[in-house]
Structure formats: structure tokens, C-alpha cells
């Protein structure tokens, strides 16, 4: 693989990050970290969407300038992703001068081509969606189905993008590329939306919204969200700037990860804009589901909005690995997932502490107990279990090729269970009791060699736990997946008793309570 480029949706900074935001960033980061194990040229982009009427209104209510408000809230997202070990390559903010300049050039380029035109329009505008809605889009009460508020009637002269011009080309592309939209069942949803697609407004009058990027040759208008926000995926790489080296290297994106609620904009509006700019489309759009809280959709009015920081604090988690693993494996590809405290505790205890962590801990402990931590040359073998490990690596890679992150995680845990069964079936403690030292040592070597592969596979989900495992095994966690050849554990001294430490403590363990 020569290179890999993935993006998240950019977060609107009118509020603070919650677990729904975290789910998307963790999901994307797990994908990104996996592909860093397959290429040296992987790039992950995330960002903040910082223009629009809601920013304008909220900042005024708080007595702040729009930029001060954006700076304050953007930092909350930056801090949240740091807390979750989201090691993105770049975070773009749409108030960045380079982004604003590129967006103005994109707008002008489309205008010069005739794909953007001035038009008087009266429509139903939902400030929550920051979009014009048709009457057929409303619920039985005439409200936006998402924000449950009646849209206001807006009459303006705005610039429109000729979305309808690209309707047939988008339909053809989706039908000819069945894996463009992931999961594939979402494609029919998009094709149905395309049937009645109309041109879209891509500017607002400054009388209505002044907090936006000005149109270059029309001081009465600001560029609206679709050109502004969607373009971040290419402006961040330097498109239409003096330095477009990253754009030339990484575009088109391999996968753009977004929520299912904004699929229309990414599978219809965004491809049309790219076609108008004569640019290739992203290879895949991954539309993930929503995260509910105790099977109930998150809502400020219900008071069940959960922040990633609050989860970590309530469980006294110093590192985010448990939350990363739980969120990344919470839902099948594209389906909705659920968060509950009880399920979180049960799942991470079972998978990370009992199955994986305990497997490493007891294997190393037996190596110290029976062999003073030494790997003797007669222990080293090519075990049948290594073939299962190789199959697991290929299965995990296959799932990631289709961005099936939960499914890949389950394959890893299936192999952990296989290795645990190998230990039980071969009972090294019994072999030691019978003084069958070579057989005992061979079993432990085989397990520890498999644990090096497990540490690599679990690394995208749990980078800190994986690194702790690798350190105790004297294994290079940066080993590429294709370079794993099951000779990482060398003969000689491996570990001392005092260096064996649990890589993840059960959440109900007294040792897990940092106050004790």
C-alpha cells in the first residue's frame, strides 16, 4: 500500500464534544492506526466547523466575538481528542486564513464555470440543520424531523450551485461503484434522495448571516456551509494554494467517515462539487450509525448527553484504551451502537483484563517461576498455532479493507480465546509438575510469540495497552503487519518478576481505584 488518507466529519463548535463525536473520531483513528501498520504514508484529517448563524447567535448571547467563541470551543474538541489518544495528522479549522482563501477560490472557480448562479429564493430554513427544507422533508407537525422545530420562511437572493446538473453522473457513479457507500444498504437511500434533487443555496445574505467567508466579488454575500465545510477535506491538503504537495500525494481520500445523518451531503453534494472541480471522488464514504445511551437517543432535553471525559473520570481511567476499544467495537459496520456503564464495565473486563491481559500476565509469570524468565533455545519452535495467528492477521486486514472495525476487533478476541484454550489444553503447570521442562517451555514460548502478534493487532484500538504488552515481550510495536514472522521472541533472558505488570486492571479491582 503506497499511501492512505482518511477524514472525519468536522465538528460544529456550537457545543462541547460528547460521546457521539468521540465514537466517530475513535472509529476513524482505529482505521488510521491500522493502516499505519501497512504503509508509512498514512494521513488522518479531523477538524472544526466554525461558521454560521448558530455561532453568530450563541457568541452574541455570551457577549463574545465569534472568533473568541470559536477559539474557546475548538479547544474543547482538541482537548477531548488528546484525552482519547486520537493521533490525527492534522486538525483543520474553517476560520483558518488558508482555508478561507481556498474556499473563496473554489467558489469563484465554480462561478466562472457557470455552476454557481445568482437566484431569488423563498424557502423553509431550519437553523438547526443550517439547510433549506422542502415540505415533504417535514414531519406531520410541519417541523424538522431532527430538531423538532418549525423552519422559518426565508426570502433572499442567494448564489445557487447547479446540483441537478450532476444528478445523472452521481447516480451512474453509485451504481457503477457499489462499494462507494459503506455499508452498501445506504446506497439505495441515497439513490432515492437523488430522484427529487434540486439546486442548492451556497451563500447567505450578510443581512441574515455575517459570520462566514465573504464571496470575493460580492460583499453582500457570505459562502454557505456546503462549499465552506465540505471543502475542508481538500483545502487542508493545500488545494488551490502555493503548496499543494499533500493534495497531490493524498487525494482522493481512501475513506471519509461521517454520521448517517449527513450522508446526503457527502454522497450527493460533495461528489457534485468534486465533479464540477474536475477532481476524483473519494474511494469510499463510510456512514456510521448513532450511539444511544442506555438504548435512548442522546438529547439535551433528556439530560443524557455523555462526554468521553465523564466516562473516564467515573471509572478512574488514566488511559483511554478501554473506552476506545468499547466504542470501536460497539456496533457492526454502519449500524447503531449503544453505551451503558454496565455493558462498558462487563465488556472491557472480559476482553481486556480477563482474556487478553491475564493471558499475558500468567504466561510471563510461569516463565519466571519455571525458567527464571529465560527463553531457552530448545523452546523455540514453529507451532501450528502460528498458522492460526497468520490467518487472524489476514482476516483482520480483510475486515479493515471494508472498514468493518467491530468485526476486526471480534476476530482479534477470537484468536485470544484460541490461545487461552491452547494454554488450558496443554497445561504448562502440569508439564512443570511432571518435570517435562522442554514441553512446558515450548508451550510458553508459543503463547508469548502469539502475544506479540496480538499486541500488534490490538494496537489500533488500545495503543497504550499494546505498547505495555510489547514492552514486556521486548517486541517492537511498530512492526508492520506484513513483517510479522513469529520469530520476535529471542532466546535468552526475557523478563524479571518485578517487570511483570498487569496491562489492564479490572474496573472492579481495588487496584484499579487510584485512591486506594
Catalytic residue flag (residue 284):
no
pLDDT of 512: 54
Average pLDDT score over residue span 486-512: 89
Average pLDDT score over residue span 379-397: 97
pLDDT of 156: 82
Task: List Cα–Cα distances, 208 to 54, 161, 212, 314, 378, in angstroms.
Answer: 11, 19, 11, 43, 78
Q: For residues 307 and 473, what is the distance between their CA atoms, to the nearest angstrom?
A: 35
Which of the four pLDDT bands, split at 50, 70 and 90, describes residue 493? very high
Is the CB of residue 89 less than 8 Å from the CB of residue 45?
Answer: yes
Least confident of 251-255, 313-317, 511-515: 511-515
Tell me whether residue 353 is in a domain: yes
Tell me whether residue 107 is in a domain: no
Q: Is the pLDDT score of 478 beyond 80?
A: yes
Segments of 127-278 assigned E as strands: 131-133, 152-161, 181-182, 200-201, 203-205, 213-215, 218-223, 255-259
The domain spanning residue 353 has which CATH number?
A: 1.10.730.10
Average pLDDT score over residue span 393-420: 98
Q: Is the pLDDT score of 510 beyond 80?
A: no
pLDDT of 136: 79
Tell me, letter by letter, the H, E, C secondary structure of 104-153: HHHHHHHHHHCCEEEEEEEEEEECCCCEEECHHHCCCCCCCCCCCCCCEE
Give residue 427's region: left, alpha or beta (phi > 0; psi -120 to 50). Answer: left
Q: Is the pLDDT score of 290 beyond 70?
A: yes
Tell me whether residue 190 is in a domain: no
pLDDT of 516: 39
Tell me whether residue 445 is in a domain: yes
Catalytic residue flag (residue 126):
yes
- Please name the residue that has the C-alpha cell 465533479: 275
Average pLDDT score over residue span 453-473: 98
Tell me whether residue 43 is in a domain: no
Query: Which residues is 186 bridged to in the sheet?
Result: none
Percent with pLDDT over 90 in the chain:
85
Q: What is the pLDDT of residues 11-25, one digit of tens each?
A: 999 999 999 999 999
Catalytic residue among 51, 70, 99, 126: 126
Higher pLDDT, 110 or 133: 110
pLDDT of 127: 75
Q: Is the pLDDT score of 201 beyond 60?
A: yes
Nearest to 368 by CA among 458, 495, 471: 495
Average pLDDT score over residue span 237-259: 97
Average pLDDT score over residue span 401-425: 98
Catalytic residue flag (residue 143):
no
Which of the four pLDDT bands, split at 50, 70 and 90, describes residue 137? confident
Catalytic residue flag (residue 21):
yes
Is the CB of residue 84 less than 8 Å from the CB of residue 22?
Answer: yes
Which of the four pLDDT bands, split at 50, 70 and 90, describes residue 413? very high
Catalytic residue among 144, 440, 450, 462: 144
Which of the four pLDDT bands, split at 50, 70 and 90, describes residue 427? very high
Tell me whether residue 144 is in a domain: no
Length of the chain: 516
Catalytic residue flag (residue 440):
no
- Across the chain, mean pLDDT equals 94
- Expressed as residue numbers, the domain containing 401 is 340-512
Which of the four pLDDT bands, split at 50, 70 and 90, describes residue 509? low
Average pLDDT score over residue span 148-170: 92
pLDDT of 135: 81
Q: For residues 234 and 49, what is the distance between their CA atoms, to the nearest angstrom?
A: 14
Tell me whether residue 442 is in a domain: yes
Average pLDDT score over residue span 456-463: 98
Q: What is the pLDDT of residues 102-117, one digit of tens each?
A: 999 999 999 999 999 9
Catalytic residue flag (residue 76):
no
Nearest to 350 by CA among 331, 384, 326: 326
Tell me whether residue 481 is in a domain: yes
Higher pLDDT, 28 or 509: 28
pLDDT of 313: 92
Look at the chain and report how many structural domains it folds into: 1
Q: Is the pLDDT score of 514 beyond 60?
A: no
Higher pLDDT, 78 or 148: 78
Up-side HSE of residue 46: CA atoms within 13 Å toward CB?
22
Q: Cell digits for 107?
A: 467558489
Within the chain, how many helices (H) and strands (E) appear?
A: 20, 19
Catalytic residue among 297, 433, 480, 501: 297
290 C-beta neighbours (distance < 10 Å), count: 16
pLDDT of 25: 98
pLDDT of 301: 55
Q: Is the pLDDT score of 262 beyond 70?
A: yes
Q: For residues 351 and 227, what is the distance between their CA atoms, to the nearest angstrom?
A: 44
- pTM, two decimal places: 0.93
Q: For residues 263 and 259, what is the distance between their CA atoms, to the nearest angstrom?
A: 7
Q: Cell digits for 214?
A: 465573504
Strands 291-293 and 296-297: antiparallel
Q: Is the pLDDT score of 336 beyond 70?
A: yes
Average pLDDT score over residue span 261-273: 97
Tell me, letter by letter, the H, E, C secondary structure of 1-26: CCCEEEEECCEECCCCCCHHHHHHHH
Amino acid at each position: 500500500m503506497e499511501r492512505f488518507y482518511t477524514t472525519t466529519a468536522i465538528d460544529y463548535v456550537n457545543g462541547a464534544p460528547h460521546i457521539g463525536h468521540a465514537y466517530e473520531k475513535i472509529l476513524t483513528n482505529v482505521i488510521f492506526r491500522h493502516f499505519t501498520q501497512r504503509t508509512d504514508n498514512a494521513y488522518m484529517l479531523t477538524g472544526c466547523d466554525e461558521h454560521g448563524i448558530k455561532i453568530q447567535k450563541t457568541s452574541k448571547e455570551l457577549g463574545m466575538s465569534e472568533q473568541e467563541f470559536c477559539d474557546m470551543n475548538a479547544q474543547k474538541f482538541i482537548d477531548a481528542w488528546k484525552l482519547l489518544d486520537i493521533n490525527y495528522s492534522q486538525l483543520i479549522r474553517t476560520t483558518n486564513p488558508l482555508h478561507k482563501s481556498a474556499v473563496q477560490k473554489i467558489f469563484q472557480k465554480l462561478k466562472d464555470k457557470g455552476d454557481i448562479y445568482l437566484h431569488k429564493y423563498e424557502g423553509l430554513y431550519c437553523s438547526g440543520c443550517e439547510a433549506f427544507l422542502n415540505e415533504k422533508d417535514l414531519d406531520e407537525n410541519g417541523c424538522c424531523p431532527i430538531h423538532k422545530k418549525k423552519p422559518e420562511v426565508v426570502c433572499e437572493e442567494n448564489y445557487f450551485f447547479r446540483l441537478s446538473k450532476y444528478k445523472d453522473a452521481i447516480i451512474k457513479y453509485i451504481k457503477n461503484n457499489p462499494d462507494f457507500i459503506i455499508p452498501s444498504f445506504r446506497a439505495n437511500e441515497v439513490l432515492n434522495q437523488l430522484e427529487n434533487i434540486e439546486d442548492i443555496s451556497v451563500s447567505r445574505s450578510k443581512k441574515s448571516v455575517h459570520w462566514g467567508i465573504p464571496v470575493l466579488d460580492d460583499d453582500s454575500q457570505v459562502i454557505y456551509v456546503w462549499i465552506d465545510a465540505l471543502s475542508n477535506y481538500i483545502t487542508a491538503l493545500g488545494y488551490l494554494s502555493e503548496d499543494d504537495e499533500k493534495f497531490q500525494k493524498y487525494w482522493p481520500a481512501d475513506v471519509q467517515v461521517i454520521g448517517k445523518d449527513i450522508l446526503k451531503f457527502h454522497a450527493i453534494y460533495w461528489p457534485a462539487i468534486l465533479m464540477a472541480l474536475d477532481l476524483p471522488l473519494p474511494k469510499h464514504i463510510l456512514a456510521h450509525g448513532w450511539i444511544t445511551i442506555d438504548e435512548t437517543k442522546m438529547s439535551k432535553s433528556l439530560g443524557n448527553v455523555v462526554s468521553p471525559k465523564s466516562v473516564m473520570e467515573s471509572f478512574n481511567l488514566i488511559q483511554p484504551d478501554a473506552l476506545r476499544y468499547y466504542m470501536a467495537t460497539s456496533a457492526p459496520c454502519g449500524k447503531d451502537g449503544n453505551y451503558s456503564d454496565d455493558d462498558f464495565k462487563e465488556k472491557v473486563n472480559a476482553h481486556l483484563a480477563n482474556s487478553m491481559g491475564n493471558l499475558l500476565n500468567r504466561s510471563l509469570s510461569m516463565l519466571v517461576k519455571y525458567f527464571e524468565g529465560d527463553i531457552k533455545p530448545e523452546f523455540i519452535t514453529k507451532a501450528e498455532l502460528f498458522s492460526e495467528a497468520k490467518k487472524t492477521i489476514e482476516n483482520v486486514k480483510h475486515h479493515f479493507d471494508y472498514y468493518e472495525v467491530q468485526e476486526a476487533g471480534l476476530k482479534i478476541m477470537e484468536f485470544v480465546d484460541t490461545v487461552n484454550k491452547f494454554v488450558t489444553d496443554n497445561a504448562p503447570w502440569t508439564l512443570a509438575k511432571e518435570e517435562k521442562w522442554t514441553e512446558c517451555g515450548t508451550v510458553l514460548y508459543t503463547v508469548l510469540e502469539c502475544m506479540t502478534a496480538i499486541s500488534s493487532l490490538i494496537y489500533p484500538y488500545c495503543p497504550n495497552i499494546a505498547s505495555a504488552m510489547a514492552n514486556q515481550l521486548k517486541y517492537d510495536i511498530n512492526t508492520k503487519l506484513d513483517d510479522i514472522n513469529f520469530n520476535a521472541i529471542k532466546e535468552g533472558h526475557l523478563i524479571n518478576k518485578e517487570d511483570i505488570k498487569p496491562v489492564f486492571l479490572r474496573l472492579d479491582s481495588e487496584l484499579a481505584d487510584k485512591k486506594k
